[in-house]
Homo-oligomer: A and B are copies of this chain.
């Protein structure tokens, strides 16, 4: 075996910053000196701004598709600089770093770990509004760069339950709108009977297997590639056509 065949651990970034933004750019700038010994992946930066609850259910659905071992740095805050504890959830295959605001409450069911409260890393002054740059990514690099190290041994265990540990495992809500205008929900599709209709606002939608089955412009629901119920229109934006937004509720008929 040559050094060429080593698999490098992955740092996933999961935020509402917007890709191509100066925020993501600053994160990559501090990560870059550690490449290629670690690899970094922009898992998603187009999360609905300021909705950690929605992002939590999407992250859980992405869980089975993550390449591990990895660290996820997640940042979605209801308002920048709002008070919440910065935490590390140190799991065997996946560690999670970010705010204790519910963002990790669902994925942690798949990747359990011990929870710690993060301390400021002294080399860098901590800004009030950019913990991603000043706290979360520096901690991720500490964990990743030397996989044998146990930097968490200096941290205080977080003894209270994390925010969202009492939230349900799935929710009848829209959690994400993608570039096509498809509305991803927080409901798992596997056990839903295909005869059921979904009602959202004034609209009642039937099931279709794929887009090709639906008449042009007709709205329908199907089970997407993450296993979640998704609302779509064939070749149109469901979000625009049905006036659907993140956090909108739906019911099964």
By a beta-carbon cutoff of 8 Å, the part of chain A in contact with chain B is: 3-4, 7-8, 10, 12, 16-26, 28-30, 32-33, 35-37, 39-46, 49-50, 58, 62, 65-67, 78-83, 127-130, 133-134, 176, 178-180, 209-212, 214, 222, 224-225, 232, 234-235
Contact = CB atoms under 8 A, between A and B. Distances in A.
B35 A8 contact: yes
A25 B12 CA distance: 9
Given A8-B35, A43-B25, A44-B25, A78 B235 contact: yes
Given A33-B39, A129-B224, A178 B23 contact: yes
A79 B49 contact: no
A42 B21 CA distance: 8
The residue among A58, A127, A133 with the most chain B CB atoms within 10 A of its own CB is A127
B44 A39 contact: no
Given A7-B33, A83-B212, 12 more contacts: A10-B29, A10-B33, A20-B46, A21-B179, A25-B42, A29-B66, A33-B39, A49-B180, A82-B211, A127-B224, A128-B209, A130-B224
B50 A179 contact: no
Contacts of A42: 20, 24-25, 28
Main secondary structure of the interface of A (DSSP, over half): loop
Contacts of A80: 180, 210-211, 232
A223 B41 CA distance: 30
Nearest to A233: B79
- How many copies of the shown chain assemble into the complex? 3
A26 B65 contact: yes
Contacts of A21: 44, 46, 178-179
The residue among A10, A24, A176 with the most chain B CB atoms within 10 A of its own CB is A24
B41 A25 contact: yes
Given A35-B39, A43-B22, A46-B21, A29 B67 contact: yes
B79 A211 contact: yes
Contacts of A7: 33
Contacts of A46: 18, 20-22
The residue among A32, A44, A66 with the most chain B CB atoms within 10 A of its own CB is A32
Contacts of A179: 16-18, 21, 49
